[in-house]
Structure 1
Amino acid sequence: MRMSLSQFEDLLALVAPHITKETVTRDPIPAAARLSMTLRYLAIGDAMNSMSYQYLVGTTTVSNVIAETCAALWNCLAKKVLPFPLSKEEWLNIERDFKDRWNFDHCIGAIDGKHVAIQCPHNAGSLYYNYKNYHSIVLLGICDANYMFTFVDIGAYGRRSDGGIFRDSIVGQKFYNKEMGLPEPKRLIVDGDPMPYVLVGDEAFQLTDFLLRPYPGKGGLTHEKNIYNYRLSRARRTIENTFGILVSQWRILKKPIDATIKNTMQIVQAIISIHNWLRKQDLDKNEYISADMIDCDEPNGFIPGTWRKEMDSSHALRDLGNCGTNNSSRAAMNIRNKFCNYFNGEGAIPWQYLRQQ
């Protein structure tokens, strides 16, 4: 994980008032040491016994410091880097970035979900034991075109049926209930019908009037549907890369997390908040994320990011199954068809046909 000294000092200034301790009997651990200890644990994945020797404090103290600092990082940064609700102007800024960077009009985010693998919790029974035969909590994330999370939902039981995870999440309910404050539908073409602003997801998600997924099947699709699937996949890879960056930069996620459920949630919250905080400062510098770390999908071809080489079956973030049912309304299918027509007509880009040959 790359963090400059100035970034560390800026982050310390934000969280120091919340992690500084005052004791009567002995000198407290300084805020800088508390933050350094936590960042080392998250970025390197050191065992707490090892950190106990390094910082010359007890293992229990290390555990308490990390838990308290992770909670402080989330409380201090969340409102700055994950604001809610978004204004219509902020939604339109996200849409403009997807259009400019990924050639997908009316896209307001890419969505995906992961099981966060954990060690077996004490006295949890089978609540967190999922159908893939390991224990987990669920992380749902929506990102913008610049690999920053805009919404996250953390902590659903791993044993839950994936089909209802998104619909039953807080952010899912707000989308289904039309409570996200999205801009009004707008025409993609001058003489066309007004089209809604949409999320893009993979086959795991249900097709709705606010979430587009690919056409199912590979061998039997028409050329036009293949073009649509390619354009959607190109925009959707932003969330794949965002999760890939987390695993690559925060090595605590390279293996199942050994912590209580509460502490695991705080660890994930802290990582996401620091990721967004660093990413906001990194847009023009490439300090936190190097250029070769993320996928390059340009007219000249696709070059996979280096994060893909680090993903294996042992890391903590693992794919969900289906996050929605396969039942889609006629209105939703009609919306997808209109996007398909647009990408094969007025919204076509010349090199999309080369990529399908």
Structure 2
Amino acid sequence: MDDLVTTIKIILLLMSLRVILRLKRRRIKRKRLWVKPWLLRRGRRGAYLNLCRDLQSEDLQSFQNFARVVPNQFQQLLQMVTPIIQRQNTNFRDAISPGERLMITLRFLATGESFRSLHYAFRIGCSTLIELIPETCRVIYQVLKERHLKCPTTADEWKKVSEGFQTTAKFPSCLGALDGKHIRIRPPPHCGAQFFNYKHFNSIVMMALVDSNYRFLYVDVGCNGRVSDGTDMSMPFFVVADEAFPLKSYLMKPFARRGLSREQRVFNYRLSRARRIVENTFANRFRVFLSTIDLDPNVVEVIVLASCALHNYLRDECGNAYLCGLTDQDGQETWRQDPPLQQAALPRSTNASSEAKQNRERLMEYFNSEAGAVPWQWDRL
């Protein structure tokens, strides 16, 4: 009797297993393909191995417009990042090459294209791009920051910064131009109003100090948008900023705009000319910042830092050729009106120290004296 019961149980178990296997086979058949067939043709028809190579061999200007770098710079960057972003092929698929990873990332930074648009152009899945681009940005920042995004640390290095402003803007004792910008983001779930700024959109704040050569000296990014950003003459060193910043002994800002004397207007113009360098450095060379970045705020920070390091790298490698369209202009260039990259304002202070006010008055007197005046300042009043 026991043997019969055991046999029946075994038969029932086998029948159950057979039914389960049939159901699994049906589910497998109904599942979508692991990789869409047109994605598998990336090597033959994707943008990197076709369009990019055509541009590199036939139209260098279009290649630069596409990636914001010339082929030689692309190869230099590729050599630096390849040891870190190289991946091994598997039995199931070939890895995305370092060159393709770098090109996709540069294209994203240059244009701010959506992941879906890049997905169709390069024939790479959106989920892969969402991981690939931030990862490559981290590596770009990693390999460039020590040489190309290093803040001065010695007195001699800061003195060179000051001499640069004296030479280019005729502005003495200046250690940099300071400004801040809101970078639009899509807020993370359940964050409330943490990133919602006074201009009524979600953002993180980028604050940057720039030298007279349009290079970032120091970059701070990640503060949520709800926190508003705002000669032989003996003078202490300072940083120049606009009216959004408080007047401090180390931070020089213009006079309030109403009821200005001629001398004060001269000072404001000279200061504006010096700090316009930071405006031009913020110019939208990397247009990813003109769109809302649909990534985690921590990832957006990495993208910003990579872009700043890349800007300095191109400035160092290309010289003035990279600055075409970014050099000092008195007019209002079109990129200044682009709404997504908006100025960030710091909380205003009405308690400027007497030392700070005296320093500004002395500098105003210097700009209006024979020793400090320049011929072109009178034409701008």
The alignment's C-alpha RMSD in Å is 1.8
- Which residue pairs with 2:109 in the alignment? 42
Q: 1:87 aligns with which of 139, 154, 171?
A: 154
Q: 1:253 aligns with which of 268, 278, 289?
A: 289
Q: CA deviation at 1:207?
A: 0.9
Partners of 1:43 and 1:278 in 2: how far apart?
A: 13
Q: Does the CA-based 8 Å contact 2:281-2:326 persist in structure 1?
A: no
Q: 1:58 aligns with which of 111, 116, 125?
A: 125
Q: CA deviation at 1:120?
A: 2.6
Q: 1:208 aligns with which of 245, 248, 267?
A: 248
- Which residue pairs with 2:323 in the alignment? 289
SS in 2 for 1:322: coil
Partners of 1:103 and 1:305 in 2: how far apart?
A: 22
Q: TM-score normalized by structure 1? A: 0.83
Q: CA deviation at 1:73?
A: 0.8
- Residues 313-338 of structure 1 show CA distances to partners (whole Å, capped at 9, x for unaligned) of 2x2x2112334423200011111111
The answer to whether the aligner puts 1:353 opposite 2:361 as a matched pair is: no
The answer to whether the aligner puts 1:320 opposite 2:344 as a matched pair is: yes
Q: Report matched runs for 1:89-104 at 5 Å.
A: 89-104=156-171
Q: Report matched runs for 1:162-173 at 5 Å.
A: 162=229
Partners of 2:310 and 2:227 in 1: how far apart?
A: 28
Partners of 1:8 and 1:161 in 2: how far apart?
A: 37
Q: 1:231 aligns with which of 250, 270, 289?
A: 270
- Residue 338 of structure 2 aligns with an amino acid whose one-letter code is D
- Residue 184 of structure 2 aligns with an amino acid whose one-letter code is A
Q: Does the CA-based 8 Å contact 1:294-1:304 persist in structure 2?
A: no
Partners of 2:379 and 2:197 in 1: how far apart?
A: 42
Q: TM-score normalized by structure 2? A: 0.78
- Which residue pairs with 1:221 in the alignment? 260
- Residues 236-286 of structure 1 show CA distances to partners (whole Å, capped at 9, x for unaligned) of 111111112xx2x212122221111122111111111111110112224x1
Instruction: Decide whether aligned partners of structure 1 residues 161 and 240 sit closer, same or farther in structure 2, where only a CA change above 3 A counts.
Output: closer
Moved over 3 A (4+): 23-26, 292-295, 302-308
Structure 1 regions of 5+ residues with no counterpart? Answer: 164-187, 297-301
- Which residue pairs with 1:167 in the alignment? none
Q: CA deviation at 1:24?
A: 4.1
The structure having more radius of gyration, on CA atoms, is 2
Number of paired residues?
A: 313
Partners of 2:188 and 2:344 in 1: how far apart?
A: 20
Q: CA deviation at 1:58?
A: 1.6
Q: 1:14 aligns with which of 64, 80, 90?
A: 80
- Residue 263 of structure 1 aligns with an amino acid whose one-letter code is V
Partners of 1:161 and 1:101 in 2: how far apart?
A: 31
The answer to whether the aligner puts 1:116 opposite 2:183 as a matched pair is: yes
The answer to whether the aligner puts 1:270 opposite 2:270 as a matched pair is: no
Q: CA deviation at 1:312?
A: 2.7
Instruction: Decide whether aligned partners of structure 1 residues 129 and 303 sit closer, same or farther in structure 2, where only a CA change above 3 A counts.
Output: closer
- Which residue pairs with 1:340 in the alignment? 364
- Residues 14-46 of structure 1 show CA distances to partners (whole Å, capped at 9, x for unaligned) of 111121123544422111111011011111222
Partners of 2:166 and 2:279 in 1: how far apart?
A: 18
- Residue 246 of structure 2 aligns with an amino acid whose one-letter code is Q
Q: Compare the two structures and name the one with the higher helix fraction.
A: 2
Q: Does the CA-based 8 Å contact 2:175-2:238 persist in structure 1?
A: yes
Larger relative contact order (CA 8 Å, sep ≥ 6): 1
